[in-house]
A and B are shown apart, each in its own frame.
Chain A
Amino acid sequence: MAKEKILHGVPASKGVAIGKAFIYEIKKTEVFQTPILSVYLKDEVIRFEKAIEKTREELKKIKEQINREIGEDFGQFLDAQIMMLDDETIIESVKQRIFTEKKNAEYIYNEVISEYAKKLGESKNAYFKERVVDIYDVGERVLKNLLGVSHTSVLEAPPNSIIVARDIPPSEATLINPKNVVGIAMELGGRTSHTAITARALEIPAILGIGEFLNKVQNGDDIIVDGERGIVIIHPTSGRINFYEEQRKKYQQIAKALLPVSELSPETRDGKRIDISANIEFFAEAEHAVKYGAIGIGLFRTEFLYLARRGSPSEEEQFKVYNALAKKIKPHPVIIRTYDLGGDKIFSDYHEANPFLGWRAIRVCLQETEFFKTQIRAILRASVNKNIKIMFPMISTYEEIKRVKLIFNQVKQELKSKKIEFDDSIQLGIMVETPSAALMSPFLSHEVDFFSIGSNDLTQYTLAVDRGNERISQLFDHFHPAVLHLIKETITAGHNGNIWVGLCGELAGDPLAIPLLVGFGIDELSMSPSSIPKAKLVLRTLTVSQCQEIAQEALNFRTALEVKKFLSRVVRKKFPGIEELIK
């Protein structure tokens, strides 16, 4: 009996899964050299042409599937792959070499493809270097079709599978079938890889970037993916499996019981309404937001537009996405956050010593102004729907918001002079996620229409704890009194300046935090769609005056642990029946 082993990785998609390992291996197809008799050379060329044709059909099918299930923005890389496949220089050169060298098609094709991959691999530019992945992705498909070898595909995963892989190529990631695949564990990859994006879209728990571990797993082994704690457990003990089974059953029961709650209005027992909205990352997730009863989108992250294209999307491409989303969510609002690139979200050829303190988010946009203006123009154009608000991330100084507004107004003027319509009263807000912004909030509140507190980064920056660093992760706690004081001050400053204040970090969906935030006077809470029903139920058990008492007292503690102990004790006492929800 193999020993239980716990592995840590990047929690790329939330939720818990228990299943059997399905090992997906990209085995490079073995190609042998065979001489071909002159009389058969024509047949060899025909065989090659047929393989190209078959591959083209496969890629087209995948592209259609992606467009249908995830959105057209994601299928675009396949256009480039199809074009690589149909590249006339390659096809001609393979055909010619079959005739002159009198060798088999797969050998020649592999040679030709490898030459191109090698040239690209030598490029100093990271972007071009990484395109080798696409060449091999296409090349492998052709070789398998030539050899009649079936393509090992994630499509073959039986029910209750947890896909275990070193890496899943982009064209393959999008084929993951959520009916059979319950979880994903991968040696490589991060939060922004195609696999991560797909997993979140399909609501499949996923832990990526685990490091080498495939040699410890075999097909059919029991395996647990815990997207909540960021761990993968291989060969779990029966005790562990039972624990997770129980937990999963409970989750499912609660989820089932909670679904009707989606339709309830988000208000306290004494009738104060708190807008509960959804944080989403791409268009397909809007469906989940609606299903779980979100009152609009409180945070629409736009980084994927950059990442999916591996470069800046045009104004038109962005406009299409923003416009479609605004239309879908109408009459509720959509808050679009401008690019929060940098930090952990890559520019793959750029590295710096302290990415979280470095060139990221608004700092990038204020330097790359054309890039920034293009996004603002696209957002403004979509604002004709009258339900869009715009939000700028990581403001840390007063000058920054002044500069942002200058650029924003320039773009407005440009549009006006070109007689392009937009919502002139569009609300402009900032994310308060640095201690400096929180402390400056009395001044900042006069410059904007709303604040949205980003509790994750605010915690990270206030406590000076890199939230990705495992060794110090115990220091990262959004119930830390310092963080709570800053949140309270920001809300108060916002209200004194007559603007509304929301919160869109992890704290928003934490049932224990909701009474506290309501007590502080929060106006909006934005969270991952699946957290919404529970948050509504918690909210509906509360009364404002009791929450205010709790909030006031919570600020008297010295440690995060004291705060949490106090909250769980007093919240249970004041709001009987809330226990089940808080667990």
Chain B
Amino acid sequence: MIKETIAILNENGLHALPASRFVKLAEKFKSKVELVKDGVKVNGKSIMGILTLACEKGAKVILICNGEDEKEAFNALRQILEGQD
């Protein structure tokens, strides 16, 4: 399991379009993907979950990937959170 705190650097925060890119990418991996913000944990493959976290630019989230391809998943998903995709 990889678990790390990441700051959202995407210009508009994790709004609907980056969030949908995040979900589409997360779905490609077998690993379980979760996001935690302010103690609230959601499924990283659920756009509704992610949106309800209301991650603005600068917000800190914990990205958790757990499974056989966790390393690849973590690295790829981190890029979206950091606005580098």
Contacts and interface: CB of A to CB of B under 8 A. Distances in A.
Interface string B38-81: 00001101111101101010000000000000000000000000
A131 B48 CA distance: 10
Given A83-B23, A88-B46, A125-B56, A311 B51 contact: no
Contact of B54 (A89, A90, A125): A125
Contacts of A87: 46-49
B17 A120 contact: no
Contact of B47 (A76, A84, A123, A309): A84
Contacts of A119: 52
Interface residues of A, number: 27
Interface in B11-55: 11-13, 15-17, 19-20, 23-24, 42-43, 45-49, 51-52, 54
Interface string A101-125: 0000000000000001001100111
Interface residues of B, number: 21
Contacts, number: 66
A246 B42 CA distance: 62
A80 B47 contact: yes
Q: Per DSSP, are chain A's interface residues mostly helix, strand or loop, or mixed? A: helix
A88 B17 contact: no
A548 interface: no
A77 interface: yes
A83 B15 CA distance: 13
Interface centre among B42, B43, B47, B54 (most CB of A within 10 A): B47
Contacts of A311: 11-12, 15, 17
Contact of B16 (A77, A90, A123, A125): A77
Given A90-B46, A309-B17, A128 B11 contact: no
Contacts of A135: 48
A562 interface: no
Contacts of B13: 125, 127-128
A76 B17 CA distance: 8
Nearest to A349: B56
A489 interface: no
Which 6 A-B residue pairings sit nearest by Cβ, starting from the closest?
A311-B12, A89-B46, A80-B16, A123-B54, A128-B54, A119-B52
Interface of A: 76-77, 79-80, 83-84, 87-90, 116, 119-120, 123-125, 127-128, 131, 134-135, 309-312, 370-371
22 contacts: A76-B17, A80-B19, A83-B20, A83-B23, A84-B47, A84-B48, A87-B47, A87-B49, A88-B46, A89-B42, A89-B43, A90-B48, A116-B52, A120-B52, A120-B54, A128-B13, A131-B51, A310-B15, A310-B16, A311-B11, A312-B12, A370-B11
